[in-house]
Amino acid sequence: MTQQTSIPAEEFIDAPTGWVRILDREALEIVRPLIPIVLNGQRLVLFRDEEGELGLIGRNCPHRGADLCYGRLENNGLRCPFHGWHFDRTGQCVEQPAEPEGSPMYKAIKVPMTPVEERDGGIWAFLKDGDTT
């Protein structure tokens, strides 16, 4: 495994619609399995959660736009470095630390996500009209 503590350089990928191989599987075999991706001009973050599953979600936090690439990988998701909103691999917000206990507000918050899977030694993303879903 490659030793790495900082954020890898952005990967710029232009691709047609459908399932597209975006990286080799080994690209995420790093200490902090997270890579910034610009896919057809859209800024995304690819990460592997603690269950070994992949997430490919929008990079800008919907709160104040912080770059989620600088967030913490924890509890099967990515926690925003600014105010701590926590997103799972589907882009769904699962926690807002500053909200009153019991607040359901987080349920209405989601960042865009692109379907992603591993197969044939690669990491594949599904592009629908070049957009995230």
The CB-of-126 to ligand FES minimum distance in angstroms stands at: 26
Contacts by residues 25-30 (CB-CB < 8 Å, ≥ 24 positions apart): 25/118, 25/121, 25/122, 25/123, 27/123, 28/54, 28/123, 29/1, 29/2, 30/1, 30/2, 30/4
The CB-of-73 to ligand FES minimum distance in angstroms stands at: 15
User: For residues 71-100, which are near ligand FES according to CB under 6 A?
Assistant: 80, 82-85
**What is the distance between the alpha carbons of residues 133 and 130, in angstroms, rounded to a whole number?**
10
Binding mask 25-64 for ligand FES (x = CB under 6 A): ------------------------------------x-xx
Residues that bind ligand FES (CB under 6 A): 61, 63-64, 66, 80, 82-85
